[in-house]
Amino acid sequence: MPRAVAVLFAIAISASPAAAQAVWDARELDGGGAEFRLGNDEGAAVILACQLGGISAGFEFPGSLEATGSAQVRGVPGERHNIAVAPVNDRVIRVTTGRGIEVLLALLRNTANLFVSTGGARTSFEVFGSAPLVSQCLERQDEEIRDPTRRFRSFR
C-alpha cells in the first residue's frame, strides 16, 4: 500500500518577489516513485506519476467530462498541441502517448501558464517554476529511460 507523505514541493522565488511559483503536492508511491499534483482554484489538477519504469500524466477536472480521445494543451508563452488522452473515470483523463508526455513536460519546464481544453471542459494552471519538479521526476526513472537519446516507441 502506498505510503502517503504530506509534502509540499515549493520552489524558492528567484526572479521577482511578486512572481508566483507553482506549488505541487507530493505523495510517495511504492517502489521509489512519487505522485505530484498541481491544483488550481477551480478544483482541477495536473497529475504526474514518476516511477522507475516511466512517467504517467493526466488531468483531473472538478466536473464530468464528455467522452474524448484528445486534449488541447497550450503554454503561455508557447504553442498549442493536441495530445492523445483516455478516460480514467468521468473526471480524470490520462495522457496515452510518449509524445504527449514529452509535450506536457516541456510545457511545464518552459512556460508560465498551462491551458487545457478537453471533453467540453477548459481550465488553466500557473506552472511557473515547475522545471525543478520535472527534473526530479525524470531522475526517479531507471537509467535506460532517462537516456535523452531514447525515443518513445508509442509514436514511431
List, for residues 52-92, the tens digit of each pLDDT value. Answer: 888 999 999 999 999 999 999 999 988 899 999 999 999 99
User: Which residues, including other chains, have CB under 8 Å from residue 14's CB and lie 6 or more apart?
Assistant: none
User: Which residues, including other chains, have CB under 8 Å from residue 76's CB and lie 6 or more apart?
Assistant: 111, 112, 113, 114, 115
* pLDDT for residue 92: 97
CA 74 distance to own-chain centroid = 13
List, for residues 99-138, the tens digit of each pLDDT value. Answer: 999 999 999 999 999 999 999 999 999 999 999 999 989 8
Higher pLDDT: 149 or 20? It is 20
- Please give the Cα distance from 72 to 52 (Å, whole number): 28
Predicted TM-score (pTM) above 0.85: no
Q: Are 121 and 61 contacting, i.e. CB atoms less than 8 angstroms apart?
A: yes
Burial 92-129 (b: 16+ CB within 10 A, else e): ebbbbebbbbbbbbebbeebbebbbbbbebebbbbbbb
Q: Are 51 and 141 contacting, i.e. CB atoms less than 8 angstroms apart?
A: yes
